[in-house]
Amino acid sequence: MHEGLARAVDEGRAGDRLWLYATYHCNLTCTYCLTESHPRIADRRELSRDTLVDAVAQGRALGFRSVGITGGEVFMLRWFPDALAEVASLLPTVALTNGTLFGQRLLDRLAPLASLDVAFQLSLDAAEPEANDALRGQGNFRDVVDAIGRLRKHGLRVRIATTVEHRDEDALERLCVLHRELGVPDEDHVVRTIVRRGKAAVEGLGVELGPHDALPELTLTAEGAFLHPFGPTVRHGVTDVDLRVAAEPLPLAGSLEAFLAAVAQLPAGDDVVRNVR
């Protein structure tokens, strides 16, 4: 592993996962969306397929251990299933998705990924349709529960991400009962509170992100490199650059140096409680 990255990871200052925002386009319009993604977003901020795969190849060479791909909705990109197979053959990969686009044709394209180290992380916020759909859209609960079953039937690994305004332990327990019933174990379920960036900031939702709340993990978008995946947010159509470390995503060695320089200013891991992941 790249020496500086290895030191930062050892000291708990940074993670060894490389994040990529493939597109800011989305078919949904969630009320709290970090990236103000929606079907008619003016600037989709897309990475090309070549850039995405290249970034992961360079990441592997530098010693990154895993990859996260997010958006927007990555399955809005026609080429994404093929790129995901390429990326997942390089490094263990998690693809974050709203879970609403898994029709039979897409599932057939994804079937070969069952033999690769790839997980599909679907968003599901509550065990009750009304509570989930309030911020994610009418009919979303039904679509996501259906997609979890279909993905698993095709031998694909499913994780669940839950985003909540307030932690309600009873409501979370009901959701855990549901995901276990659907075959998703506890270690594949993450829960986070809404971060007050992007559309959540406009709507007055969620918690302010403290300077050390999120573990630094190099995050690439079409607009550069950022300190962690909660960095490249959009408010009123404008990208937030307060957590940007480089204006160009590649070459990765360059973004990594800028990232490590930013990380060096932050306290080491043992002194820090990471409240958001």
Q: By the criterion CB under 6 A, which residues form the site for ligand SAM? A: 26, 32-35, 70-71, 73, 96-98, 123, 161, 163, 192, 194-195, 197-198, 200, 206
Is 232 an interacting residue with respect to ligand SF4 (CB under 6 A)? no
Binding-site member from 8, 26, 262, 263 for ligand SF4 (CB under 6 A): 26
Measured distance CA(171)–CA(173) in Å, rounded: 5
In the complex with ligand SAM, which residue's Cβ is closer, 122 or 260? 122
Stretch touching ligand SF4 by CB under 6 A, among 12-20, 69-77, 203-211, 249-257: 69-77
Q: For the purposes of burial, counting CB atoms within 10 Å of the CB of 187, is it exposed (0-12), middle (13-18) or buried (19 or more)?
A: exposed
Is 125 an interacting residue with respect to ligand SF4 (CB under 6 A)? no
Interaction with ligand SF4 in 172-211: which residues (CB under 6 A)?
Answer: none
In the complex with ligand SF4, which residue's Cβ is closer, 55 or 144? 144
Task: Report whether the peptide linkage leading into residue 251 is cis, meaning its omega lies within 30 degrees of zero.
Answer: yes
Q: How far is the CB of 102 from ligand SF4 (least distance, A)?
A: 14
Binding-site member from 15, 72, 216, 269 for ligand SF4 (CB under 6 A): 72
In the complex with ligand SF4, which residue's Cβ is closer, 30 or 87? 30
Amino acid making up residue 81 = P
In the complex with ligand SF4, which residue's Cβ is closer, 30 or 256? 30
Q: How far is the CB of 34 from ligand SAM (least distance, A)?
A: 4
Binding-site member from 45, 68, 69, 73 for ligand SF4 (CB under 6 A): 73
Q: How far is the CB of 132 from ligand SAM (least distance, A)?
A: 11
Q: How far is the CB of 30 from ligand SF4 (least distance, A)?
A: 3
Strand 93-97 to 118-123 pairing: parallel
Phi, psi of 193 (to 5 degrees): -90, 155
Handedness of CA 161, 164, 167, 172 (dihedral sign): negative
Is 71 an interacting residue with respect to ligand SF4 (CB under 6 A)? yes
Q: How far is the CB of 41 from ligand SAM (least distance, A)?
A: 12
Stretch touching ligand SF4 by CB under 6 A, among 58-66, 68-76, 86-94, 177-185: 68-76
Interaction with ligand SF4 in 29-58: which residues (CB under 6 A)?
Answer: 29-30, 33, 35, 37
The CB-based long-range contact list for 8-14 (8 Å cut-off, 24+ gap) reads 8/216, 8/260, 8/263, 8/264, 11/268, 11/269, 12/268, 12/269, 12/270, 12/272, 13/216, 13/263, 13/264, 13/266, 13/267, 13/268, 13/269, 14/215, 14/216, 14/217, 14/218, 14/259, 14/260, 14/263
Strand 17-23 to 66-71 pairing: parallel
In the complex with ligand SF4, which residue's Cβ is closer, 71 or 216? 71
Q: At what angle do helices 49-62 and 252-264 cross, to 10 degrees?
A: 60
Residue 36 burial (CB count, 10 A):
23
Measured distance CA(65)–CA(199) in Å, rounded: 31
- 239: β partners: 234
Is 132 an interacting residue with respect to ligand SF4 (CB under 6 A)? no
Rule CB under 6 A: which residues touch ligand SF4? Answer: 26, 28-30, 33, 35, 37, 71-73, 98
